[in-house]
Structure 1
Amino acid sequence: MRKTKKLFFTLCGTIFLITSCAPPPSNGETSLLGSIGPFLPFALIILLFYFLIIRPQGKQRKERNLMLGSLKKGTNILTNGGVFGKIIDVLDDDVFLIEVSKGVNIKIKKDFVNSVSDVDTKKK
């Protein structure tokens, strides 16, 4: 993320320098670039912002929704609190009953599932 921010600010500064160094038209004519010129850096910044920040977050959100949609009975999970468990029942559309260890069951909301885990909760 730090590299992305550094690249973003470097590009913004470069765009600003390029547009500020452009000479004004010699005769009273205005070109298309002359009328759009002041808004061009802002448009480029918005495009960069979209491709560097908004689009990747949307992709991550899609992947997370797919992962949450694929959860079913018997899936090993890791919660946001760091608790490993196995889904033993789906109580509601957004509530699971998970087995943390033998005889210890807890209810959690679907939103608090961090990831699907390959760690088995049973002791060997």
Structure 2
Amino acid sequence: MQFLTTTATTQGYMSLFFTLGLMIVLLYFMIYRPQKKQEKKDAEMRKNLEIGDQVTTIGGVIGRVVAIKDDSFVLETGSDRVKIRFTKTAIGAVEKLNMDDAPAKK
């Protein structure tokens, strides 16, 4: 009878470890991996920032980039041309300046 109890306990532990391992794999594919993809996408967006791009910050400030330094940029907002310095980590979204649609100057 001792053998049956040991086997049942061992199978219970194996089932528990299998379930725990499956949960860890699911968490990796549902949480960690998409987060890393988003971080890479955000880093690429910050790296490709150019003067003239329209930027929306995570605080909701919208304006055009007028200067870029190492880890910061200057944003010009509104018609009164207010200039505010932000760190690049404050960028929420970037709309690229499209020069292809601009009318030709004479």
Q: What TM-score does the superposition give when structure 1 sets the normalisation length? A: 0.64
Paired residues in the alignment total: 92
- Which 5+ residue runs of structure 2 have no aligned equivalent? 98-106
Task: Compute the displacement of 1:59 (Å).
Answer: 0.9
- Which 5+ residue runs of structure 1 have no aligned equivalent? 1-25, 120-124
Which amino acid is the alignment partner of residue 30 of structure 2? L
Cα separation, 1, equivalents of 2:30 and 2:56: 29
Tell me: CA distance 1:97–1:110, structure 2 relative to 1, closer, same or farther (3 Å). same
Task: Compute the displacement of 1:39 (Å).
Answer: 0.7
Q: Which residue of 2 aligns with 1:19?
A: none
Cα separation, 1, equivalents of 2:46 and 2:62: 16
Cα separation, 1, equivalents of 2:74 and 2:19: 52
Q: Which residue of 2 aligns with 1:84?
A: 62
Task: Compute the displacement of 1:27 (Å).
Answer: 5.9
Which amino acid is the alignment partner of residue 76 of structure 2? E
Task: Compute the displacement of 1:98 (Å).
Answer: 1.2
Cα separation, 1, equivalents of 2:15 and 2:45: 45
- Which of 1 and 2 has higher RCO (CA within 8 Å, sep 6+)? 2
Cα separation, 1, equivalents of 2:82 and 2:95: 18
Asked if 1:73 is matched to 2:81, the reply is: no
Q: What TM-score does the superposition give when structure 2 sets the normalisation length? A: 0.73
Q: What is the root-mean-square deviation in Å for CA atoms of aligned residues?
A: 2.5
Task: Compute the displacement of 1:37 (Å).
Answer: 2.7
Q: Which residue of 2 aligns with 1:100?
A: 77
Q: Which moved more, 1:52-61 or 1:109-118?
A: 109-118
Which amino acid is the alignment partner of residue 99 of structure 1? E
Task: Compute the displacement of 1:96 (Å).
Answer: 0.6
Q: Which residue of 2 aligns with 1:113?
A: 91
Task: Compute the displacement of 1:38 (Å).
Answer: 2.7
Cα separation, 1, equivalents of 2:17 and 2:50: 51
Which amino acid is the alignment partner of residue 106 of structure 1? I
Instruction: Point out 4+ residue stretches in structure 1 off by more than 4 angstroms.
Output: 26-30
